[in-house]
Structure 1
Amino acid sequence: MNLDYRSAALSELPEIMAIETSGFSPAEAATETAMAQRIKEYPDTFIVAKADHQIVGYIVGPASHQRYIDDDLFEHAQPNDPTAAYQTVLSLVVHPDFRGHGIASQLLEKLKRVATAQNRQAITLTCLKDLIAFYERNGYRNEGVSDSGHAHEIWYNMVLMLHKS
């Protein structure tokens, strides 16, 4: 499968939202308003994967000064701060018809390249218990249960170091 990776466009919001709701419960999924803000505020770290003009997956998150994700990041989008040490991941989702082809890992790698070029120290995200092994296979380290109360779930802090500090 030949994929094209690039920044998300606001015109793609309906496609992005369909994928978002396929990968997260209603309580976990971003709202359309929040997703539109993310597209506008951090286009450099909102990457879509396209196959034959169809979005098949995406990864998105802002830069942050905090090692672990704060629930406020899910609600309020602000432009990436070039001095922030961490790159976050708020959503990584692949369309159900395209899962199992390594697209999620490729999206993680694309974001890693962006974060490295922007001199971030690490990429940080939270995930549910059943996804810990996936992120570990992609080089992330489980740093324990998150303080996040997002969607009333138990989340785990996962961190991928990019630079020695």
Structure 2
Amino acid sequence: MSLRFAVPEDLDRICEVEAACFPAGEAAPREVLAERLKACAGSCWLLEDGEVLAALINGMPTDEKDLLDGMYRSTGCYRENGRWMMIFGVDTAPAYRRRGCAARLMKRVIADAKAGGRAGVVLTCKERLIPYYERFGFRNEGLSASTHGGETWYQMRLTF
């Protein structure tokens, strides 16, 4: 398997995996993913098995300390040298789950954020995933202000 940054030509495959991983209210729409790929180069990591997209993590660097709902819809808070790397989605194609794909990507995202001089990485997750992200060193900050997709989210932060 190989790791690389996404380019706009990857949009169709990214949309397919995103739709397979999240309910419609939580999945990023095609136009938002396209905007992220154009505006936030180097903020979408892909793990490929040959020509197959096995997993991806997409996000955005910003100076905002907390993950805000507006970030899911717009790249307005994007800052190339932002202090925090926000993660919007950790997506693993169904056929590749439970094979360490997301963990491999997460380790790379963390390493890249650290090497880029960021203060850390922030994401939100559902309660059942808190222990998973804690294994990477994230700390649960409690309920997030986010109500993205009408769900309850917990904000997780990894500070370097």
Smaller-chain TM-score bracket:
over 0.9
Matched with 1:57 is 55
In the other structure, the counterpart of 2:4 is 6
What aligned pairs does 1:79-98 form with structure 2 within 5 A after superposition?
A: 80-98=78-96
Aligned mate of 1:139, from 137, 140, 152: 137
Shift of 1:82: 3.9
What is residue 31 of structure 1 aligned with on the other side? 29
Report the residue type matching 1:58 in the other structure.
L
1:57–1:50: structure 2 CA closer, same or farther, 3 Å change rule?
Answer: same
Quick one: distance in 1 between partners of 2:61 and 2:117? 11
List gaps (5 residues or longer) in structure 2: none
Match of 1:149 in 2: 147
Cα distance, 1:106–1:131 mapped onto 2, change above 3 Å: same
> What one-letter code is carried by the residue in structure 2 that aligns with 1:31?
P
Q: Give unpaired runs (5+ residues) of structure 1.
A: none
Render the CA deviation track for 1:52-97: whole Å, top value 9, x for unaligned.
Answer: 1211110111112122101111111258424421101001101000
TM-score, normalisation: structure 2:
0.95
Secondary structure at 2:42 match in 1: helix
Q: Aligned-pair RMSD on alpha carbons?
A: 1.3
CA shift for structure 1 position 41: 1.2
Q: Percent identity?
A: 28
TM-score by length of 1: 0.92
**Aligned equivalents of 2:81 and 2:92: distance in 1?**
30
The CA deviation at 1:42 is 1.3
Counterpart of 2:112, as a letter, is V
Tell me the amino acid that sits aligned with residue 20 of structure 1.
Answer: E
